[in-house]
Structures are given as structure tokens and as C-alpha cells.
A and B are shown apart, each in its own frame.
Chain A
Amino acid sequence: MNLKRTFKRRSFMKVAGAAAIGLPNIITSNALGANGVPAASERIVMAGLGMGGRGADVLREFMSQPQIQVVAVNDVKSAQLASVLGKVKQKYGENNVEGYEDYREVLARDDIDMVFCAPPDHWHAQMMIDACKAGKDVLCEKPLTLTIAEGRKIVNAARKYGRIAAGGSQRVWQDYGRAACAANSGLFGKVLEANANPGGPSRPCYLPGKGDPKKDGVNWDLWLGPAPWAPYNAYRCGRSYGLGGKGFRTWEDYSGGMMTDWGGHKFGGAMHGLQLEHTGPNLITPPKDGEPLTYHFATGQKLKVQGGANYVCEGGKVGNNTLRDLKVPAGLRTYKDGCRSLVQDFVRCVETREAPFREVEWSHRAATICHLGNICLKLNRPLKWDPDKEDFIGDVEASRMVDRPRRGVWQI
């Protein structure tokens, strides 16, 4: 790959110059701490990487936090980049925000403390690990990974570099927290099973090349990144949601499909309520004889891929509306005191260095559940899994699916 083409040296130098003197180009009254906004020295300087639809939404929530100052945004699609850049500039001023096509230029900036990543799934591991290496704390949209092995590498990088790293999914708490609280309230006995159904897996892409990425404003080589080379087709890299063939989530080179996309929420919620976020199953069985895809845990608990977000307890089925009086039971994780969202929780932890609600190990374990489900569906046979070694037991074919080689220079 021709790096010179993707690096915009001129813009980098401009920013580096600003960073070197350590102040934004224009010192606003806000910068000095007026209007209830923390002084610049107390602010968290952040960037948004891969800021398409969902990314821009979450970035807006970051921007509403008084201690946050967004100074850079990145996307490989020029229209998306222009759109998000305009919105960020509206908030922080024309000269205080830079747009980048290549996220590496953003990570090279020394003035940035933290990044939020929301590119397509095949980029998550690369960006998160590169962010950790660059000394940035990092929150990444769900699903955390494209493969199981990527997750462990992200966790290791976060530990090694001492970073706050977390996966997305506001729904784990906000949508499924009530059910998890009810199930763990002790009023219904032991939690035996969880039910959750995120939807189907992605599939191979057979789309032929079509169109010109330059005309569409896409840096195609950079969009593909670690994924295998493929001819450009707008439907490969589209943002259309679901598995309809018009967005990247349909294709297995870039995503695990709804299984990983909604799985980040639903399996994340299910594992949280089972209080098994820190481990994984030891057996996965494919759908058979009316039984759904099922994860079996060493504790005897099960996660079944069916129905809504609910739990089967000794005392009956428990859902979001089972208890009116919501109390968080002892031992069940939740957002930090006073935090009302995943973003607030993460920002708090960047300040205090505590573990965020969706701490990267737990996010990795939830993503692993999704990938295990996809592999089990693909092989259509029961699979034994070692949650400590994070490998299949006695199944070479399955073990080969734990990771995928990455293209060219995109190594983690």
C-alpha cells in the first residue's frame, strides 16, 4: 500500500504545530473555564475514529459532557467525514477541530487523551490496539471484534499499556438491566438460564466490482484495511442495517452479522444477568430437534438463542417488567454512581482509572459468545470450548476459525 497517499502530511504538520504549543488555535472563554465548563487543563481531549452514522450519534453524547473536548474526527468516506466534522466544529469552533482520512494521523497526535471508535467491525481490533499503543484510552462500538483471538489481543494491549478500554452497548444496562436486577434479586432463586436472540450470521460476499470508489468519495484500500482485498462495490461498504445485502454487516469479511451486532447487546445483557461476563461456555450445541443454539456453562447455567431478554430462575421466568422497584443487587455490576449512560460511565473511568461498565475483558467475552455461535452454526455440530485457553477442544476446523490472517501492513 502506498502510505504517502493516505497520510496527509500537511494537515498532520498543522495539527502537530498546534499541539506543540499546547493550546487550541483560539482561546475561548470556555477554554479558560467559564460557563461551568472545566478549564482546558482539566478537560479530556478526544477524537472520534470511523465516524459514520452510529459513531456520529455517540460522539454527540460525548460532546455533551462538559469535560470533553473533541479535537479530531476521522472517516475514510469523505461525505461522512465532512458531515461529522461540520457538527463538531459547530460545537468547538471552526479552528479547533481537524478532520482526517487516516486514523493513524489522529493517533500520532500527542494532545489526545482518548478516542472513540465506530468503524465497521473488521477495523475494531486494529484501531483499539493502535490506540492503546499510542497511549490513548479507548471506547469502541460493539461488537468488539471480528474474531475471537482479536478480543484477547485487545485485552492484552489494554493491560500492557495501562489503558481504560471498553466496548460499546448501552443496551446491556439500559435495556436489559432491569431483567438482570430482577433475576439476581434473590427473590426468584438461582438464575438457571438466559434467553436472547440477536439474529442471524453474516455470509460470504459474492458481489462483483461495481462503481468507482474515488467518485463515491471512499478511500477503498483504507476502508478494506485488514480485510482481504475485494473489488469496490458500494454495497460492500454500505451502512444499510441488517442482512439485506446492502451494508457491510451482511458480509463475513467485515462483520459477524446480526449475531455479533445485536449479540453485543443481547448476549452482553444475558451474560451480565447470569454473572458470567468473565468467562465463557464449555459447550455450544447447534439447533436440533426443536432446541435452539445453546451455550452450556460449567456452572450448569445455559444461554439459549431464543425469545426475548429474560431469565429462567428456579422461581420462574423473569423479565424487564418483573420488578417495579428496581434495586441493584449486591455483586451485579452497573454504571458508576451518578452516571446515567455508558458514555458517562466511560468518561468517569478515564478520569478515575476504574473499570468501566463494559470493561474490555467483559466486552470480549460477550463478543466471543457471538463468534462461537456463528462458528457453531457454520459447522453445525456440538463444539467443546475451553474458556481459559480460548480455543476449541479436539476440533481442528473450529480452531482455525478462532482467528483470521490480516492483510498486508494491518497487523496487531
Chain B
Amino acid sequence: MKKLMTIFMAVCVMARVAGADVWEDLAKYKMAGGKGFPPVAAHKVIVDTPVAEHGAIEEKLIAIIESKDATGDAKIFSCRMLQRVGSEKCVPVLAKLLNDDIMSHYARLTLERMKDSEAAGAALRDGLSKAPDKLKVGIASSLGERGDRKAVKDIAKLAESSCEASAKAALIALGKIGGKNAKKALDKMKVCDGAKDARQDARLSVAVGMRDTKALEDIYKNGKCYKHRGVAVSGLLTIDEGKGAASVADIIKGDDVRLRRSAMRFVSTLGGEKLTKAICGVLSDLPAERQANVIALLGVRGDKSASGALEKYLSAEDKSVKKAAIKTVGLLGDAGTVGKLLACGGSDKEMSEAAARSLAGMTDPGVNGALVKLLGNAESKDTALRALVARNAKDAVPALKKLLTETAAGKRSPAWSALGSLGGKDDLDELMKISLASRDKGDIRAAKDAMKNICTRDTDKDGCVNVVAAYYEKADGITKAFILDMAAVTGSGRGLDLARKALKSDDKDLYKNAVRAMAAWSNSKPEKDLMELAKSSPDEAARILALRGYIQMISKEGNRQKQLERLDVAKGIVKRVDEKRLLISAACKVREDSKVAEFLVSYVDDAEVKVEARKALVEKTKRFRGKGSQALKDALNKIVNDAGSDKELLKEAKEALGKVK
């Protein structure tokens, strides 16, 4: 229906444009119930007309505004359109509207925005002198927006109005216009009490515009209001940074909390190197808490010239100051500061973590190289490694491999960990060789974790498995198990072939390792193998392992129907209580609430798992869609009847029952 209406409306509009006179219709237009056909049609004409031909449209709009017969709504719409297409031609027509209660604002839409038109300015000035008082404020504001200095005298009169809001608006206009005359007028005028703040604001704007440092300094030093003193300082910072910077430094040392809050904000937003230097200069005079705060702000400020001055705070005794310095030096520093950041971490865990975080965020392209160079430093090596990982510094991988070979086996797990995060498929072969040469159990474990991590991340899963599979035939049992583990992580088809081959082995340990790997497979590829093993493996432990693996695989992949089928298959062979629990848990993960609810019914009376089954059934039924079976209703009624003192279960079961009915 909505579509039909839209098409109907569009056809009506098109008919208007093509046929009868759009402008005649517009002239008669009255706002009514949202059926804005004439304005919409007129707007379409404007959009479809090349800019060079907008003069003709302007004439039509002017004619409507001048017409005695045109409606007010049509005139308003025409004024709105003139904001877009109006030229000097429409100025005299709009000027006449400035005295009109409602139309004055609409006339300003165009006159204010015709920035380069002297005629528009003259019309507004004339309007300001003749318009009724209540319309003057809008006209004055338009003149202020245009920065019309010829209007200062009349706007200044308005600023002396007893109406606080009008006076404030006029003062804003004077502030925008600026210049000597505005300054004189502001100094001389008497404003109502409520507008005194606005006058001081205007004075400040004018002073900044005139680059009048003397006036600004005077307001900063002798002013009573913290807001104006703050504005004076921000003004000074923009026109005489040295003076502004000295003022900010004074304020930061001082006790005026509210003024200091403004100045602290200037630290992160205004000024240049002079302000940075001034702030660094007063840092040592500040109490620790403020010192830490200002150091952090210097980081936000981003002026690298502060970096050198802040390095001494890397060894500050106060922890908050030291942490702030670590963070800020990282933000401002370059490759040359890497060593200092690493050194300041030392043996303090909290500080070395802060240093690693800071190093991780550094943007200088030389930072990775600097970190690599300092990997040899035993005290800071772990911090450097953490930073390299956080920086995703793949260019550090060759250096990390070299570090592995140069470090004693028992001490290289941090390097393995870093390689696991940064290495790729192409590094696996070399890492495999290094790990095979190791005899240290901890080292081998770290190597395996690293290589698993690489296999998990790399998108070429088969490629990764191919690299390690090359070592399979000649490997010992432990290594074979490890290769199968990696295959499980990747879920690769090539890896699955290896696992299947291992199942045929006479080596019982290898057989179990293959089953274990299949049970932990990252996808559902070994689904059939696992079911077969669960049903008919000669080894009981392998049967249990395979069944668990199968159950955990149920919701891993495949559509919901496939997952439901797996549930049914598993249900046929689960016997042990822990397996039933696993199956119920797996059923909950299948996002087919209605069918899973029906599936769970059969466990509601199973004494071994009825508590879990009943909770799961209620949970699934709460999201039930469609009609439930009688068995499901009976099961839910039973849960309600048996709930006893379990009020929560009772409430939820009743809710679930409501869904089924």
C-alpha cells in the first residue's frame, strides 16, 4: 500500500512539472496535512534546472513574494528557495520583509548568507534601523555573522537593551564584527546586569581580533571571573604565545582550581613549542599528582620537543609520575628513546608492563629495529619481546630465530612465544628443526605452543601441515603426536590423512594420540572416523575419547538439520552419565530450539541426568516456535509438578508451558 502511495505521489508530482504551471500552484499553496505537492514540484524544477538558468527561477520566486494574492506559506517556501538561487536581484524584495514578524527571519536566510553582496549588507543595516525592536536582534545577528563593521553603532544601541537575551545576542554580534569601533562601543556602553558577562566575552573576542595583548593581559591579571581570565589566556596563546605560555605555567602552579582546569585543557589543545617549554619548565614545581596529570597531557599535546625534558621522570620515585612519563615518552619519542623506556621497566613488573605498552604504541618506523638491537640485554629482553609482539613486528622474526639459536634451551620460552605470535608458515620448517634438536622438555613444550599458534593463525592450513608432515615418517612417537596435534589445530585434510594412517599403526600410543587428535579436531572432517571409533574401537579408552570428540563436534559445523542428525546418532550410543551430560550440553548449543526441546524430552525421566535435562528443556522451550508435541507438554507438566520448592524452575517451566500451548 505504501509503495502504491509513493508511486501515486511521484506521478502527481511529475504531472505537475510537465503540465500546469508549477509556480501558479506554488503561489496558492497552503501547508496542509503533509501533502506538499506544489513545493515538491517546485523543488524538482530547481534541481533539474542548470545553475546558469537559475535566474529565471529567481524571478518566479520574487514574483510570488511580491504578489498580493500569494499565500504566506508560498512566500516562506519562496524565501527558502532564494537562499539557494537568489542573487542581488532579490535583495530589495527581501529587504521589505525584514519588518514582518514572521517573514523577517525568512528574508535573513538569504541576506545573511549572501556574504559577498554589499547590497545585502546595506539592506540588513537599513532593516536594523527601521525594524520593530523585537526583530532587530535577528537582523543584528545576521550583520554580526557577516562581520559588517558599518553596523556597529546600531548594534551597540541594541546591546544596551533592557532585554537581557536581546542584549546578549547583540553583544555576540559585536564580538564577531570586532575592530576599533566595536571596542570603543563596548567600553562605553552600559549594559544590563545579566549581559555583563556577555560584554566581557565580546571584549575578549574583539581584543583577540585586534591582537591587543595589553587588553588580554589586563583581563587575565585583573579580571575577577575565572572564565574570562581563561579566555584571555587562550587569546594570548593564539596571538603572543610567549606571554600566553607564561600565564598557563603560572595557572598550573597556582591554586585556582577552576582556572587550572581550563589551562590544563589548553595544554592539550593550544599553542606551540613555547607553551611546551613553559609547561616542562614548571613540572618540577608541581605536587606529584598534578605532575603526573600534566605529563599525561603533554602526551596528548603531541609536541615531540617535550620528550627530552620528560626523560628524567622515567626514573621518578612516585609511581604515578613514572607511569605517566613512560606513557608520554612513548607517545612523543622515537627509536632513540627505546633504550630508555626498556631500561626504566627494570625488574618492576608493573613498570615493565607499562613500558611494553608504551613501546607498543610508538609510531616511529625505526622502533622495531631498535627493539631488536636491544634483545641481547637480559634485563629488558622480555619487555622488548612483549613490545615486538604487541607491535605485530613481523620484520623482527629473523632476529627472533637467531635469538633462539643463541639462547640456552631452558631460557628461550619468551622467544618461542614471540615467534608463535609473529611467525608464519615460511618459518615453520626452521622452527621445527630447532625444536627437534632440543632435549629440554619445557623448551619443547614452548616450541609446540609456538608452532600451534602459527598454524592457528596462518590461513594456509594445508601448507602449514605439509611443512611439519615432512618430518612425520622419521619422527619419534612424541614428535608424531605433536604433528597430529598441529594437524588437529589446523583441521587440514592432509593432517587428517596422517591421523588415519596413525590409526592403522601397531603402536598403541600413536593410535591413542591419533584418536585424541581427531577428538580435538577443529572442524567436523573426522566425523565419520570418530563415530566408527566410538562404536567399534577395540580400545575402551579410545571409544570414550572418540564419542566425546563426536559429541563436541555436533554444533561445530553444518546446518541445523545436520546438527540434529548428529544428536540422534550420538544418542544411539551414549551410555555413561558424563556422556549423557555432554550430549545435553551439546544439544543446548544447537540453534533449533523447537526440535532440540523435543529431543530433550527423552531425558526428562532419566534419573542420572534429569536435573540437567529438565533445565535445558525449559530453557529451550522458552524460545519455542510452533506447536509442541503431546510428549513435550507432558514433560513440561511433569517439571511443573515436580518443581517443588524450586520457585525459579517452576516459574520458568510455567512460562515454557505457555509457549507450547
Contact = CB atoms under 8 A, between A and B. Distances in A.
Interface of A: 1, 3, 133-135, 159-164, 185-187, 204, 206-208, 228-229, 231, 245, 327, 329-331, 352-355, 378-380, 397, 399-401, 403-412
Contacts, number: 143
B226 interface: yes
Residue from the set A379, A380, A403, A405 with the largest chain B CB neighbour count within 10 Å: A405
A134 B201 CA distance: 11
Nearest to B265: A162
Interface of A, helix, strand, loop or mixed by DSSP: loop
A292 B599 CA distance: 49
Contacts of A352: 293, 296-297
Contacts of B134: 1, 408
Interface in B115-132: 115
B268 A186 contact: no
A204 B165 contact: no
Nearest to B176: A411
Contact of B363 (A133, A331, A399): A331
Nearest to A400: B113
A411 B113 contact: no
B265 A163 contact: yes
Contacts of B296: 352, 354
A354 B227 contact: no
Contacts of B268: 353-355
The 4 closest A-B pairs by CB, nearest first: A162-B262, A206-B36, A353-B264, A409-B165
B270 A159 contact: yes
Contacts of A133: 197, 201, 227
B1 interface: no
B620 interface: no
Q: Categorize the interface residue count of chain B.
A: 35 or more
A207 B392 contact: no
A132 B231 CA distance: 11
A406 B47 CA distance: 25
A371 to B, nearest CB: 15
Given A135-B227, A330-B362, A355-B268, A204 B106 contact: no
Contact of A206 (B34, B227, B261, B360): B34
B234 A161 contact: yes
Contacts of A208: 30-33
B80 A160 contact: no
A410 to B, nearest CB: 8
B144 A411 contact: yes
Contacts of A331: 361, 363
Contacts of A354: 268, 296-297, 300
B239 interface: no
A353 B83 contact: no
Contacts of B36: 204, 206
B166 interface: yes
Contacts of A204: 36, 39, 43, 77, 80
A412 B168 CA distance: 10
Contact of A3 (B84, B106, B164, B267): B164
B263 A355 contact: no
A127 B105 CA distance: 21
A3 B54 CA distance: 42
A228 B106 contact: yes
Nearest to B227: A135
Contact of A405 (B85, B112, B115): B112
A161 B262 contact: yes
A151 B76 CA distance: 27
Given A397-B84, A403-B113, A162 B234 contact: yes
Contacts of B392: 185-187, 327, 329
B51 A135 contact: no
Contacts of B163: 3
Contacts of B363: 330-331
Contacts of A353: 261, 264-265, 267-268, 293, 297
